[in-house]
Structures are given as C-alpha cells and as structure tokens.
Amino acid sequence: MRLRRSDKYREPHKLNMPAMIDIVMLLLIFFMCTSNFVQPENRMQAALSRVEQGVGQQEYMDSVEIELISEADQLRIFCDGTLCDGWAGLRENLRIRREISDMDVIVRGGAGVPFENMVKAVDISHLLGFSKVGFSAKGPGE
C-alpha cells in the first residue's frame, strides 16, 4: 500500500528576495566598472599627425584632393584646386571623377576646420563609391 502525502502540509515556493537584490547590485557594479564612457566623435578635437615635407610622403598621381579651408566662419571647399559651390558642388565634382576611375581621395583640413566637416567630405566620397579615402592635416600658416 502506498502512502500519499497530503497537499495541505506543503509549503508554497517563495522567492529569496535578499539574495536577488544582492545579485542585481553585483551586476550593476560590474557593468558600471566595465562600461566605456566615450565622448561623441563630433566633439573630439582632430589631432592628426603631421609629416615633414618630403619625408614619408607618397606621390599621388591618380588622386583627388579635397581641401577644406575655414575663413571668417565660412567653409571654403576646393576639389583639386577648384573652388566648389558648397557640398553639392563637391558631390558633383567627385561624381564626375568617379565616372573616370576609382581614384584615391585625400581630404586636407586647414587650421580651424571642424572635424565633422572632414568626416562629411569622407562620407560623400564613400557614398559616391570611392574605396580609398584618407585624411591629411595642415598646420597654421601652411
């Protein structure tokens, strides 16, 4: 004969809340210690390395040079020495050159040019299909 346990003597299941609170606090401390608080890119200062004339430079024969110059709070955009009519003019010049071939694109930023403008020039180049795009920095008075 089998004995049956009576259900009226069973204790209901309970959650151990103090242990759960301890685990949540440990996870919170772990994630706070291991997370990175990164400054957004558009607020970072552009600290690009400079190369002396003739030392370590390559000759870019099949390249497009985009030069950004900031004068009197106005941005001037040059594409291979030709003044562009804003971002739309740059886009048009790059589109014409892209039809010729996939050239290297060099973005040169003068002193005082916000880094976000240099990134915008790189983005336009990538959107038009250029695969090799690079930065170059200029110091004051160059």
Per the document, the length of the chain is 142
49-137 topology per CATH: Nucleotidyltransferase; domain 5 (3.30.420)
Q: What is the pLDDT of residues 12-57, one digit of tens each?
A: 777 888 999 999 999 999 998 988 776 666 665 655 555 555 544 4
Q: Where are the domains of the chain?
A: 49-137
Q: Look at residue 23 in the predicted model and tell me its pLDDT.
A: 95
d(CA 51, CA 49) in angstroms, rounded, equals: 7
Q: What is the largest CA-CA distance in the chain?
A: 103
pTM for the structure as a whole: 0.53
Instruction: Give the pLDDT band (50/70/90) at residue 66.
Output: confident
pLDDT reading at 60 higher than 50: no
Of 133, 140, 72, which is closest to residue 109 (Cα–Cα)?
Answer: 140
Return mean pLDDT, the chain: 77
